[in-house]
Amino acid sequence: MHEDRHSYKMRLRDMAPELEKFTNDERILNLQVKLCACGLSKTKPICDESHHQIQTEEPGKVYVYDSELHGRALENEYPERQRPPPPPNV
């Protein structure tokens, strides 16, 4: 199950504030870059729109994808993830 099904847009100036030492061109500094958050992009860290493949994933299931981005849900291959108990209050 992918929790992030979309990319994140960031401006170059926010990704690399040191760019402002080299240019004050607002067109460059405000360029938006789409960063992959789904993990399937073949051009990481830049989103290549592969996240469209995961839009039909069913909640709660774990999917694996081959190099052609054909996905399949894993059925009972992993037991339910269990969270460890919270630490005792000290």
Residues binding ligand FES: number (CB under 6 A): 12
Q: How many residues does the chain have?
A: 90
Q: Does 2 bind ligand FES (CB under 6 A)?
A: no
* Least Cβ distance, residue 4 to ligand FES (angstroms): 7
- Rama region for 38: left / alpha / beta (φ>0; ψ in -120 to 50; rest): alpha
For the chain, the straight-line distance linking the first and the last C-alpha, in angstroms and rounded, comes to 35
- Site residues for ligand FES, window 7-66 (CB under 6 A)? 7, 36-38, 40-41, 47-51
Name the site residues for ligand FES (rule: CB under 6 A). 6-7, 36-38, 40-41, 47-51
